[in-house]
Amino acid sequence: DRVVELRSPRGGALPPGGSSVQATGRRVADLTAAAHLGDRLRVSTTLLDERGHRVRPTAKTDILNAGPELVRDGRLHVTLATDGMVHPDDPSWYYGWVHKRNPRTLAGVDAAGRTVLVTADGRSTASLGLSIGESAEVAQSLGLRDAVNLDGGGSTTMVTGGTVINAPSDAAGERPVGDALLILPRRQNH
């Protein structure tokens, strides 16, 4: 629980048993001010609902980091500014991440309540990828009533039965990632 290294830019391998705390945007300065080599770093979290009220997670609570929203109630509903995707002081970020075609991962629910997962390969001559707007259009064309963008780029990987079924864009292939959405069979009690 002690700070053993500070990195800028963030990311990279961790020592065995280690963990990382990372910040982006205006929170980088806050974390930099709080983290000092050799000190203990106290980390606390609070989960809030859409109205700002505290949520107390239970064993049945699932949390998914996603954004921007793409489709709401069957209509295109790209919420770039609300979801922090617009950086007025860095227009190249918007172009590179939102407007430019990249590998994308989408999740949504159709009218029958089925969960639909989509990976769109990119950054190659065989697969160009999607912009965020195009991602929303694909989700809507698949009949998704609600859909969000998940982590993309080199992290866009779909695995079924232990086999990667898409073509990840990193030159080395499958990228180690810190988060994943898993769909597992229900346990059968006999």
In a domain, 57, yes or no: no
In a domain, 171, yes or no: no
In a domain, 62, yes or no: no
What domain count does the chain have?
2
Task: Take residue 60 and report the two structure tokens written for it.
Answer: 């049945």
Task: Take residue 143 and report the two structure tokens written for it.
Answer: 């009949």
Specify the amino acid at residue 168. P
Which residue ranges of the chain lie beneath pLDDT 50? none
Question: What range does the domain containing 155 cover?
Answer: 69-164
In a domain, 98, yes or no: yes
81 and 160 housed in the same domain: yes
Q: How many residues does the chain have?
A: 190
Q: What is the pLDDT of residue 99?
A: 92
If you ran DSSP here, which 8-state letter would residue 102 be given? B
In a domain, 54, yes or no: no
91 and 128 housed in the same domain: yes
In a domain, 64, yes or no: no
Q: What is the pLDDT of residue 49?
A: 83
39 and 73 housed in the same domain: no
Q: What is the pLDDT of residue 190?
A: 59
Answer whether 182's CB lies under 8 Å from 151's CB: no
Q: pTM (2 decimals)? A: 0.73
118 and 153 housed in the same domain: yes
73 and 149 housed in the same domain: yes
In a domain, 186, yes or no: no
95 and 136 housed in the same domain: yes
81 and 150 housed in the same domain: yes
**Helix (H) or strand (E) run with residue 132 in it:** helix 132-141
Q: What is the pLDDT of residue 17?
A: 85
Task: Take residue 12 and report the two structure tokens written for it.
Answer: 């990279």
Q: Which of 80, 93, 83, 151 is nearest to 117 (CA)?
A: 151
Q: What is the pLDDT of residue 52?
A: 87
**Helix (H) or strand (E) run with residue 149 in it:** strand 144-149
Answer whether 154's CB lies under 8 Å from 170's CB: yes
**Helix (H) or strand (E) run with residue 27 in it:** helix 27-34
Task: Give the model confidence (pLDDT) of 12-21 as tens digits.
Answer: 788 888 888 8
Specify the amino acid at residue 67. G
Conformation bin of residue 84: beta by default, left when phi > 0, alpha when psi is -120 to 50: left
